[in-house]
Amino acid sequence: MDIAKSFSYVFEDEAWISKMLIGGLIFLIPVIGQITVAGYSYKVAQNVARGVERPLPDWGEFGEALVRGFLGGLISLVYALPAALISGILVAVSVGTAAAADRARSGAGVAFAGAILCLVPVIIVLSLICAVAALAAVARYLATDDIGQAFKFGEVFASLRSSIGAWVLLLVLTILAGFVGGLGLIACGLGVLFTSFYAQCVIGHGLGQTIRQLGLGQPAAPPAGYGPPPGYSA
């Protein structure tokens, strides 16, 4: 993956200023705006995966962007559920342990704090696994325009196992882009609207690169030795 390209390609578009301004203003709309911006970034990913020279789409297909962003968010939500459920169970168990210690007058505060500290690494690892799986699932959806592909869990996790480096690199890019997106808040309040939109475009480009790199959505190559049937003479 060309990480530098993901951060610089936006400025290669001759209309990048107007597209960024529109994107930042749309991001201002509660909930709907964020979903639409996510859908826009997914279109960027599709353009990059398909080799479009200027991958920033024109603003105009708001309905399609909204639907695409909603479906991508739904996929991410489904893949986040295991980590959320397991984390909730672990926290509930730790609270129960602390309560039992309190009844036994055996240092409830220490027991509770120790239980929570032990759970933090587990929760972080679970969250990272689910985040990477969600990226792989969304990538399959974007590569095929078929949301059903995102829920072929066996194939999604097989892709993770076979190309874990590419997916981890994409996750790193996502984290870096999120950091850049937050700089607008530090620099100038409302600037976060535009840096957040820019961050989504960066993520979209990285996602598109990964789709293209791994050949997602492309027909599998025929096995070695496969070819047309031999000809027969009359």
Q: Please tell me the predicted confidence (pLDDT) of residue 28.
A: 86
Q: Please tell me the predicted confidence (pLDDT) of residue 66.
A: 93
Task: Compute the mean pLDDT over every residue in the chain, rounded to the nearest whole number.
Answer: 81
pLDDT at 228 over 60: no
Nearest to 89 by CA among 67, 119, 59: 119
pLDDT band at 179 (very low <50, low <70, confident <90, very high): confident
Q: Please tell me the predicted confidence (pLDDT) of residue 217.
A: 65
Strands in 33-153 per DSSP E: none
For residues 17-43, average pLDDT: 91
Across 42-55, b (16+ Cβ under 10 Å) vs e yields bbbbbbbbeeeeeb
pLDDT band at 41 (very low <50, low <70, confident <90, very high): very high
Tokens of 96: 């129960």
Pick 105 or 212 by higher pLDDT: 212
List pLDDT tens digits, range 110-157: 555 566 666 777 778 888 888 899 999 999 999 998 999 999 998 898
* Secondary structure letter of residue 227 according to DSSP: -
Cα 179 to Cα 52: distance, rounded to the nearest angstrom = 27
Nearest to 210 by CA among 165, 159, 170, 150: 170
Q: Give whole-number Cα distances, 183 to 192, 193, 201, 208, in Å.
A: 7, 10, 15, 24
Cα 118 to Cα 128: distance, rounded to the nearest angstrom = 17
Pick 54 or 228 by higher pLDDT: 54
